[in-house]
Chain A
Amino acid sequence: MTSMKILIVDDSITIRRIISTALKTVGYSETVEAANGKEALAKLENGNVDFIITDWNMPEMNGLDFIKEVRSKPMYSSLPILMVTTRGTEHDVIEALQAKVNSYIVKPFTPQELKEKIEGILKTVQVNTL
């Protein structure tokens, strides 16, 4: 088990539960949840989030606006962000990358795919910070 704290942002309680369970099975037990971008920003301010997994389509503040807001703050400029969404067109992926998301995964995903994505991001982040 790793001590990394992961913020899960999704308006669907089902998906939050599935992600949280999947994370536990692949060794990430510390999670915090938010139902939209606004709520996630508040949770982020509360502290010590090491990684963000966010959906795109959410009420109040969608995932893309949330990522832009996070990236606009210098202290979160290198915080790893993985987008987990149903949106799978090339245009969507590029839009998310332009908003500075680290990687992108489409639903439905497996715990293994989630693990590989997280590890891939962490490797890149480590290389970039060396």
Chain B
Amino acid sequence: MTASVLSVRDLRVWYGTERGPVRAVDGVSFDLRPGETLGLVGESGCGKSTLGRGVLGLLPRGAKLDGEVGYQGRNLVTATPREVQLLRGPDLGLIFQEPLTRLNPLLRVSEHFEETLRTHEPGLSKEQIQHRGIEVLRAMGIPPTRYRAYPHEFSGGMRQRIMIALALVLRPSFVVADEPTTALDVLVEAQIISILGDLRRNFDTALLFITHNLGIVAEACDRVAVMYAGRIVEQGPVTEVFARPQHPYTRELLRSTISLATTGLHYIPGAPPDLVEPPSGCRFHPRCPSAMRVCPERFPEPVVVGPQTVECWLHGPDGLIPADGRDPLVREEITVADEA
């Protein structure tokens, strides 16, 4: 088995607010091997983006990071800001959701490349920089004639390809793609997906692909991690997870996507939980159709089911479930009604 490029253990990212800490990411673990793409899915506000940023140490002031992000034998959580800054770019890349505002409007595209390459590869000559920039832009389908243009002269799809080119020009071994296609139309989306696919085939880049589009995950990812309320509730190979989801939340999420066979829209009742005061025990229990008496009582343990890992009491371990724990949970009509 190949060694992991990145291995995340018990990562937590909390924000301090007046109401108390927001547990945006609350104990997440996963591994990524070279050339592997891990899809990270979940509803808005479940902590997906925070997780992606946290891995790269790009958190706003006031956020607290804890746990372990292992990269090349180093823990990025405890590394100095300077060390992490030097890794960002040549080792760790990030592609953003909204490409329109990500390029500095006052700088030419060429200046973006010059700045990036000079920072990380100080030895390069001006010609080499230009060559590298134009090459990677060409690979993204941007003609060399546009190298000196300003960002506002490009369309959204082109800007996203420029952003990807900027991330790839340093050939990072790990890239976080944070909903890179959400703001783009479908045709551009397909282009971007295929570019990212080429990338991992050609350079063995490991990709953390954050999205809420399950179709993209099925198409572009090797494994998938399903996130709910700051936790990864289920992860495993895409085909297995999609064919045999083990966590009720994964099941509900898959049911709520639209396909040709869809006759009516399905949605999960209730809103994503408050991350300041998350529900007790399993965080999904207030919305879970299969909730049991043990679910609000205790935090579920990660359990291995086939090739998947699931945090759900339905799969045990039986030893930890109290005698009547498997009885269906009786709920009074809860907040869900008010929210709706």
A and B: partners? Answer: no
Q: Which residues of B contact A (CB under 8 A)?
A: none
